[in-house]
Amino acid sequence: MRQFLEKDLEGLDKIYRLNLINSCTGYKSANLIGTRSAKGQNNLAVFNSVMHLGSQPALIGFILRPLTVPRHTYSNLKATGYFSINHISQNQIEEAHHTSAKYPEEVSEFDQTELDVENKLSQEIPFVKDAPVQLACQYINEYLIEENDTILIVGKILALYVQENMLGEDGWIRLDQGNVVSINGLDGYALPKLLDRFPYARPKK
């Protein structure tokens, strides 16, 4: 095994450290967050930090980078109070990745990629057409992570759309049926394969 001590990490080349630390926590969720500006401009950006916060009420969170540069997802969701979360499927990875490019506020990533917008529920929540799972969320709160000035955004799920063939009888969403990808680090996209499911775990007798 290669060993990296804290002092080694500090001395690493910037890109090497970024890759190492971004991939050392394991596979991450792959989502496109859609928002609309107060002027009605759609915005789309890839995020690998969307996480489950609780199911009753249905809450999600994601981490936003420091506000040292304009963050359109953030300014839009603060302006309207809403955003969409769209799972990325295998055939969308290249276009999804491109949404991380820095476009000016007046340019929509929907126009710069092959990804199409889907309007439903509310004009203020643009969805990604053909995303196998889509969530409509309402901004609830945010928490500054003081250690590095990132922000935990907390959202409530207002509506959930799931491709029919992915939804099990018990409510479980079988992600591989929708070819939903996950993210390895900051630029690697993987297609996970389901191995098994297990009943609720209880202590052994």
Q: Under rule CB under 6 A, which residues in 18-37 are in contact with ligand FMN?
A: none
Q: Which is nearer to ligand FMN, 37 or 174 (CB)?
A: 37
Dihedral of CA atoms 107, 108, 114, 117 in degrees, nearest 10, equals: -160
Residue 87 engages ligand FMN in binding (rule: CB under 6 A): no
Cβ nearer to ligand FMN, comparing 8 with 90 = 90
The smaller minimum CB distance to ligand FMN, of residues 103 and 161, is found at 103
Query: Where in 157-176 is the site for ligand FMN (CB under 6 A)?
Result: none
Q: For residue 39, state whether it binds ligand FMN (rule: CB under 6 A).
A: no
Q: Is 64 in the site for ligand FMN (CB under 6 A)?
A: yes
Specify the DSSP element, H or E, that contains 26. Answer: none
Query: Do residues 4 and 16 touch, judged by C-beta distance below 8 A?
Result: no
Q: Is 72 in the site for ligand FMN (CB under 6 A)?
A: yes
Cβ(134)–Cβ(178) under 8 Å? no
User: How far is CA 33 from each of CA 63, 99, 103, 140, 177, rounded to the nearest angstrom?
Assistant: 12, 10, 15, 16, 21
- Closer residue to ligand FMN in complex, CB, 63/167: 63
146 CB-near residues (< 8 Å, 6+ apart): none
Binding mask of the shown chain, residues 89 to 118, with x at each position contacting ligand FMN by CB under 6 A: --------x--x-x----------------
Pure H helices in 38-187: 72-80, 93-98, 109-112
Which positions lie near ligand FMN, rule CB under 6 A? 43, 45-49, 62-65, 71-73, 97, 100, 102, 183, 186
